[in-house]
Amino acid sequence: MGTAKTFTLLAIMTGLFVGIGYMVGGSVGMIIAFAVAAGMNVFAWWNSDKIVLRMQGAQEVPLDTRNPMLRAFREDVARLAERAGLPEPKVYVIDTPQPNAFATGRDPNNAAVAATTGLLSVLTREEVAGVMAHELAHVQNRDTLTMTVTATLAGAIGMLANFAMFFGPRDSEGRPNPIAGIAIMILAPLAAGLVQMAISRSREYVADKRGAEICGNPLWLASALEKIERGARAQVNPYAERTPAMAHMYISNPLNGRGVDNFFSTHPSTANRVEALRRLAGEMGVTSIRAAEPAPRRAAGPWG
Measured at the CA of 142, the angle between CA 144 and CA 50, to 5 degrees, comes to: 30
Contact predicate 279/285, CB 8 Å: no
Distance, CA of 255 to CA of 15 (rounded, Å) = 27
Provide the 3-class DSSP secondary structure of residue 114.
strand
Contact predicate 114/94, CB 8 Å: yes
Contact predicate 60/90, CB 8 Å: yes
Distance (Å) of CA 184 to CA 113, 158, 242: 35, 10, 21
Distance, CA of 254 to CA of 97 (rounded, Å) = 11
Q: Which of 135, 229, 283, 293 is catalytic?
A: 135
Cβ burial of 165 (10 Å; 0-12, 13-18, 19+) is middle
Contact predicate 252/100, CB 8 Å: yes
Cβ burial of 304 (10 Å; 0-12, 13-18, 19+) is exposed
Catalytic site includes residue 283: no
Distance, CA of 70 to CA of 157 (rounded, Å) = 36
Distance separating the N- and C-terminal Cα atoms of the chain: 38
Contact predicate 101/121, CB 8 Å: no
Chain centroid to Cα 76, Å, comes to: 21
Distance, CA of 202 to CA of 192 (rounded, Å) = 16
**Residues catalogued as catalytic:** 135
